[in-house]
Structure 1
Amino acid sequence: MPTVTIRPAVEEDCSTILRFVRELAEFEREADAVKATEEDFRRDGWGPQPVFEALIAELDGTPAGFVLTFRNFSTWEGRPGLYVEDLYVTPDARRYGVGRKLLAAVAQRAVERGYRRVDLSVLDWNPARGFYDRIGFSQMKEWLPYRLTGEALANLAAEGLAGEK
């Protein structure tokens, strides 16, 4: 049985993180959607004001997966939480508990910091939904995700700017 090690990502992991993000995007049928660069990860993970944290999973010393999180805030709990933006484990490492160990490390960080929850989103067709259910995540059936991007984001921002003039 291979040894699974979880460690905090360091700046030198930016190329590995980008590779994992691209592999995840390919799995999610959005291979052409990745615009991120190593420099983006370097700036926003290790710059003067980091906006995310990442953990790297290694299988016998070789990177086999990662999880990238950022802090959110619950107005109802009055406490921060962690949002899992991406969790990815290479296909050949999935049978060794790598994903569970990554999420256990995220949960440990949340508990140590006094955070009250860990949130994530999963595509409706992703077979990992069963994995998340087994770990104890619960699907929030009443809450629907919404997102504002691209032209719609620019248009709404322009409305706000027009009101300032």
Structure 2
Amino acid sequence: MPGVRSSIAPVSEAELPLLAAALRALAADLADVYSTKEDTLAKAVCGPDSSCIALLAKRAEQAVGVVLAAPIFSTIHGGAGLYVSDLWVAPQARGEGLSRQLLAALLQEGARRSMGRFLKLAVYHDNPNARAAYERMGFTPHTGETSMLLSGPRLFKLKETP
């Protein structure tokens, strides 16, 4: 559907199955594991205590794109921004600028929530097309920083530290 405009809006509870399906498609595209349960996703993106922003791009009630982000505070940037954990565009909608539209809508929603000072994301090393797309939008590599992760038993061990 080239040239057809997508509607982009925050995910409603009724649209959670569309969001979950899009996130599963992203995980499959990246050969990643998808382990998020729908109730966990619902708490993260819907309701007054939501910790994330999820925007869904739809055409004819079908998901063609999604962005999921969480607030991140930076003293360097002087305030809150958003960490984009997931960005997916359906194969039939790729090459139409939908990623840019989703990120622009995310920034607008973030600004409305006082978290629109910057965007941060990670790109897999084996995904040069995504990296090139982000660079065309103006993203630059953040050199001098290594992404690190703590999960599983070591996370629980740290949590139990007195």
| TM-score normalised per structure 2 | 0.88
Q: State the alpha-carbon separation in 2 of the partners of residues 136 and 93 from structure 1.
A: 21
1:134 counterpart letter in structure 2: R
1:133 to 129, 135, 158: 135
SS of residue paired to 2:95: helix
**Partner SS, residue 95 of structure 1:** coil
Report the counterpart of residue 90 of structure 2 in structure 1: 90
Match of residue 21 from structure 1 = 23
What are the ranges of 5 or more consecutive residues in structure 2 without an aligned counterpart?
none
**2:96 and 2:60 mapped to 1: Cα distance?**
11
The 1:110/1:52 distance shift into structure 2, 3 A limit, reads closer
Q: Deviations over 1:48-92 (max 9, x none)?
A: 411111111123543201101111101223311111111011111
3-state DSSP of counterpart to 1:128: helix
Matches of 1:102 and 1:115, distance apart in 2:
14
8 Å CA contact 1:110–1:118 kept in 2: the answer is no
Q: 2 CA distance for matches of 1:70 and 1:24? A: 18
Identical columns (%): 32
Q: Which residue of 2 aligns with 1:76?
A: 76
Q: TM-score, normalised by structure 1?
A: 0.87
8 A contact 2:11–2:46 mirrored in 1 = no
Distance 1:3 1:60 in 2: 10
- 126-135 or 94-103: which moved more? 94-103
Unaligned residue ranges in structure 1 (runs of 5+): none
What is the aligned residue count?
158
Matched to 2:13, the amino acid is E
Say if 1:110 and 1:117, in contact at 8 Å, map to a contact too: no
Residue 132 of structure 1 aligns with an amino acid whose one-letter code is: Y
Structure having the higher helix fraction is 1
Report SS of the residue matched to 1:153: helix
Deviation string for 1:109-148 (max 9, x for gaps)? 3445363211111101112100000000111121110000
* 2:52 is the alignment partner of 1:52: yes
- Does the Cα contact within 8 Å between 2:108 and 2:116 map onto a contact in 1? no
Structure possessing the higher radius of gyration over alpha carbons: 1
| Displacement after TM superposition at 1:156 (Å) | 2.5
2:157 aligns with 155
Contact 1:59 1:93 in 2 (8 A): no
